[in-house]
Structure 1
Amino acid sequence: MIAAAAALVAAIAAAIGRRAPEALVALVGAALLLVFGVLEPDAALDEAESLASTLIVLASLLVLGDGCERAGLFDALAARMAARARGSGPRLLGYVFGAAVAVTAVLGLDATVVLLTPAAFAAAAKARLAGRPHVYACSHLANSASTLLPVSNLTNLLAFSATGLSFAGFAAHMALPTAVAIAIEWIVIRRVFRTALAAPGTTPDAAPPPLPRRPLVILALTLAGFVVAEPLHLDPAWPAALGALAMVPRIRAIDFPLLAFVLGLSLIVRALADAGLADIAADVLPSGTGLLALLGATFLAAALANTLNNVPALLVLLPAAAAAGPHIVLAVLIGVNAGPNLTYTGSLATLLWRRVLHQQGEQVSHREFHLLGVLSVPPILVLGTVALWLTV
């Protein structure tokens, strides 16, 4: 367990510090665990085989996001949001919220962080409004709104099969918790940034360009493919891959280092689980469909996500959660998705968001970040789990 834990710490440290390629660190760590017998070859093959479909869907979503950016979708979206805000900070925030929820749900939280955050900056600049409320909205909704669909977050993709639900069934269970999370984020961000949002802006003179239709049609067809795949007994990887090929038929658009990092990280966590952590998680994780059991699973997952990072936390808890029942799996997802808004290291998406801000010349206020987290995360965890319990 010590060897596997050391490999996990090294992989996460590489992802956070970026002083060494995180994919290489994760794969080397997994290879060393195999060489020294900490991870059995059969277990590694089983883990890699179970991840194959998830990695295909993840790669396809990244390609879809890249294609949308190349087609000018996010530039056109920024211009439209700035024009329709008509110099109003709250109105622009509403458009950013809507865009962040839609992008997170369909393309995943990384697209919201990497592609929509610069668009929110651009929209605020065009309207001569403060940018901070809108970019914080992108960061928070990338995590808290990522519970809606199986494709909205890597954690959802990893846990989807364990829920035993269809694509539409997953969305039906998580719609109310996601709506609760969005409402809480709206109230908190409006309250914290009320002064900045009250300052008037201007309406841009130039008319916004039309939204490119091709990427929107491809996204709609891909989403429809996810919905009908289950009744047709098709793997979700098929509609994802077809959508990616239709959007950008180039293999270089695939982020192979990220896929390698996820594979290496999964193998390391499998070794950690086999070494005894899975048994500990099974002893600690509640079971059943009662409200207290669901709340316990949510807060345990959130605490582990802020300690280990959300993907390792999910991988550690998933076997025990799957054995405890599908609603425990969904409660764990609320914890590992919304919980990381409390700390910088809770989610890799938050770390990417900080880099995007630095590229835009914007400094992150530690006080603002943690204030937003303290005000929004606890009520989202509690009320989101209550909303999930109401669907049981």
Structure 2
Amino acid sequence: MFLALVLLAAVLTFASVRPRGWSEAVVAVPAAGLLIATGAISVDDAAAEVARLAPVVGFLAAVLVLAQLCDDAGLFHAAGVWMARSGAGDPRRLLAVVFVIATGTTAILSLDATVVLLTPVVLATCRTLAIPAGPHAYATAHLANSASLLLPVSNLTNLLAFTAAGLSFTHFAALMTLPWLASILVEYVVLRALFARDLAVAPRPAEPLPAVEMPMFVLFVLGLTLAGFAVTSVFDVSPAWAALGGAVVLGVRGLAQRRSTVAGIVRSANVPFLAFVLCLGVVVEAVMSHGLDEAMRSMLPDGDGFVALLGVAAVAAVLSNVVNNLPAVLVLLPLVSVAGPAAVLAVLIGVNVGPNLTYVGSLANLLWRNVVHRADVPTGVLRFSGVGLCTVPLTLVAAVSGLWVGLRVIGA
């Protein structure tokens, strides 16, 4: 137990710091190997955990590639031009547009696309308009987490919960629609109030803004891919095939137009990160098998009433800010899945909304901090957590309320 806990702490610390930009897998892979070698987890149990996570990781790889191909085709550049033209007269209108684009990007292309691909575009748009970037940058940070509640493809935690809940793609989306909308509304109202002074600064674009040239073919393929997620779920086929189909179509077109390269496509799959996820699963399983599962089970309330669901979400949120949301969901899902989809979705709300409180809450937060490091945006730990303290409790209550209503209207 002690060795597994030490190695889990080492893996999470390295993933948070990432010295010299090294991949999270640099420590995670040897840690998993050491636990197997010392007998802390058997080869069979480790293989079973890898097999359980493999479809989820494959799905994640396809979505990462799809997001990069959308960027190669100019989707995010067009979004930046649209944002600049929409917000040229009023930063508050720009914030609303950023919310719309970041919400859609997170829901369809995952939170990584919002942090890595959209955030730089938002920062560039603010520079073009000569306005403070703070409210718009924090919008992408928060929406990368809280706006990822809608679809199984929106977040790696969603993919894990989707598997554990045993719901269809459309049933999952239906139950999470109200929590998703409630989260976005609370985030918008609170961020607009917190950054009222920055949003009052009048834009001063240095030059005329270009016309928007939206890549319609890309939007068409994304629409078909999204429909494919629902169709594959109906026929009990992994939605990864729909994501792969969209990636193949855009990949072939991107290569033919020389917008994309084979090396770039392979790199976008982020194989080291995928290895990190698999090995982290092995490390967490080793910790769980030595008693952590019983300790955590005693902290989780029973039932599917509002108070019980809020308690489950709160435990998940707190655990996310202690050990990061990915290990938190790996720890909690086996404990709540026997109680049914309601508890699983409450955990999901906790691990998706809760991370907005601290940088350690999610890897997306750490990626966002790196992206905005050179921008004129206050990103200190106290500032980030101060903003999170204003949004997370309210968002958590609103999202759980939406889930409670959805369960009673739609049913689990």
**Secondary structure class of the residue paired with 1:233:** coil
Is the 8 Å Cα contact of residues 53 and 236 (structure 1) preserved in structure 2? Answer: no
Q: For 1:121-140, list aligned pairs within 5 A.
A: 121-140=123-142
1:15 aligns with 2:30: no
1:84 to 83, 86, 89: 86
The answer to whether structure 1 residue 152 and structure 2 residue 167 are counterparts is: no
Counting aligned pairs with the same residue, the percent is 46
Matched, 1:248 2:251: yes
The equivalent of 2:390 in structure 1 is 375
Which of 173, 176, 182 aligns to 1:174? It is 176
| Residue of structure 2 in register with 1:60 after alignment | 62
Unaligned runs of 5+ in 1: none
2:40 matched residue in structure 1: 38
Contact 2:359–2:381 (8 Å) recurs in 1: no
Distance 1:78 1:126 in 2: 10
Distance 1:108 1:40, change over 3 A: same
- In the aligned structure 2, how far is the partner of 1:25 from the partner of 1:100? 32
2-structure distance, mates of 1:16, 1:267: 19
Q: Distance in 1 between matches of 2:98 and 2:278?
A: 33
The code of the aligned residue for 1:180 comes to A
Q: CA deviation at 1:163?
A: 1.0
Deviation string 1:78-135 (CA, Å, 9 cap, x unpaired) is: 1111112232010000000000100000011111111111111112222222211100
Q: Distance in 2 between matches of 1:214 and 1:56?
A: 25
Residue of structure 2 in register with 1:104 after alignment: 106
- 1:361: how far off? 5.9
Match of 1:299 in 2: 314
Aligned counterpart, 1:69? 71
Cα distance change, pair 191–221 in 1 and its aligned pair in 2 (3 A): same
Distance in 1 (CA, whole Å) between partners of 2:215 and 2:248 is: 18
1:287 counterpart SS class: coil
**Aligned counterparts of 1:264 and 1:169: Cα–Cα separation in 2:** 30
Structure 2 equivalent of residue 191 of structure 1:
193
| Alpha-carbon distance between aligned partners in 2 of 1:233 and 1:387, rounded to the nearest angstrom | 27
The alpha-carbon deviation at position 367 of structure 1 amounts to 4.1
Instruction: Answer whether contact 1:308 1:346 (CA < 8 A) is retained.
Output: yes
- Matching residue within 262, 268, 281 for 1:266: 281
Deviation at 1:147, TM superposition (A): 0.8
1:273-292 equivalences in 2 (<5 Å) = 273-292=288-307
Compared CA separation, residues 270 and 367, structure 1 to 2 (3 A): closer
Alignment-derived partner of residue 219 in structure 1: 222
Q: Determine the C-alpha separation between the residues in 1 that align with 2:300 and 2:391.
A: 24
Q: Structure 2: give runs of 5+ residues left out of the alignment.
A: 253-261, 408-412
- Measured after TM superposition, the shift of residue 227 of structure 1 is 0.6
Do the aligned partners of 1:63 and 1:253 also contact (CA within 8 Å) in 2? yes
Alpha-carbon distance in structure 2 between the residues aligned to 1:178 and 1:112? 16
Instruction: Give the Cα–Cα distance (whole angstroms) in 1 for the partners of residues 315 and 378 of structure 2.
Output: 31
Q: Specify which of 314, 327, 332 is matched with residue 312 of structure 1.
A: 327
Match of 2:350 in 1: 335
- Structure 2 distance, partners of 1:309, 1:138, is 19
Distance 1:153 1:56 in 2: 13
Does the aligned pair in 1 maintain the 2:134–2:378 contact within 8 Å? no
User: Does the C-alpha gap of structure 1 residues 367 and 274 become closer, same or farther in structure 2, counting only changes over 3 Å?
Assistant: closer
1:204-243 alpha-carbon deviations (Å, 9 max, x no partner):
5132340112322221111111011111221112112222
When residues 322 and 338 of structure 1 are mapped into structure 2, their CA distance, relative to the original with a 3 A threshold, is same
Q: Establish whether residue 346 from structure 1 lines up as the match of residue 355 from structure 2.
A: no
- Give me the TM-score of the superposition, normalised by structure 1: 0.97
Does the residue aligned with 1:129 lie in a helix, a strand or coil?
A: coil
1:124-150 CA distance string (max 9 Å, x none) = 222222211100000011111111111
**Distance in 2 of aligned mates of 1:248 and 1:3:** 44
CA contact (8 A) 2:25 2:272 kept: yes
Tell me the SS of whatever aligns to 1:180. Answer: helix
Amino acid at match of 2:63: L
1:175 to partner: Cα distance: 0.8
Moved more, 2-11 or 250-259: 250-259
